[in-house]
């Protein structure tokens, strides 16, 4: 699961805005307002992206678990079939009585 994606996206956007603002020699008030707006927008976008990615990871995990369960069920069926075959063979054998042993 993705936990800190929204923060990473927000901080990267903030760094880019800060660098561009300093390169273009914005005054502090303009840079601060721009930075707050950009951080808020990218925090919201990061939250949306993070939720989408978490849902995708959950779906993938669910499919993997279902696949493992199906494989385990197939293996269990094979084991049960082998046990059933062995029981049939054992049932056909008659037990030897102690008196009839040569």
Instruction: Write down the pLDDT at residue 73.
Output: 87
Is residue 79 included in any domain, yes or no? yes
Q: Which domain range does residue 11 map to?
A: 5-84
Question: What is the count of structural domains for the chain?
Answer: 1
CA distance 9 to 37: 14
* Largest Cα span, the chain: 110
pTM: 0.61
pLDDT along the chain (102 residues), means of 10: 82 93 92 93 92 91 91 85 61 58 54
* In contact, 26 and 34? CB cutoff 8 Å: yes
Is residue 89 included in any domain, yes or no? no
Tokens 């707006």 locate to: 37
Is residue 102 included in any domain, yes or no? no
Contacts of 35 (CB under 8 A, 6+ apart): 14, 17, 18, 21
Residues in the chain: 102
Is residue 94 included in any domain, yes or no? no
Is residue 91 included in any domain, yes or no? no
- How far is C-alpha 50 from the geometric centre of its chain's CA atoms? 13
Instruction: Write down the pLDDT at residue 3.
Output: 78
Is residue 72 included in any domain, yes or no? yes
């Amino acid at each position: 699961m993705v936990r800190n994606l929204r923060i990473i996206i927000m901080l990267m956007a903030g760094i880019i805005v800060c660098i561009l603002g300093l390169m273009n020699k914005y005054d502090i008030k303009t840079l601060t307002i721009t930075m707050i707006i950009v951080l808020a927008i990218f925090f919201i976008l990061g939250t949306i992206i993070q939720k989408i990615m978490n849902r995708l990871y959950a779906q993938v995990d669910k499919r993997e678990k279902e696949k493992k369960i199906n494989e385990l069920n197939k293996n269990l069926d094979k084991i049960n079939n082998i046990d059933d075959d062995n029981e049939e063979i054992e049932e056909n054998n008659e037990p030897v009585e102690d008196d009839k042993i040569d």
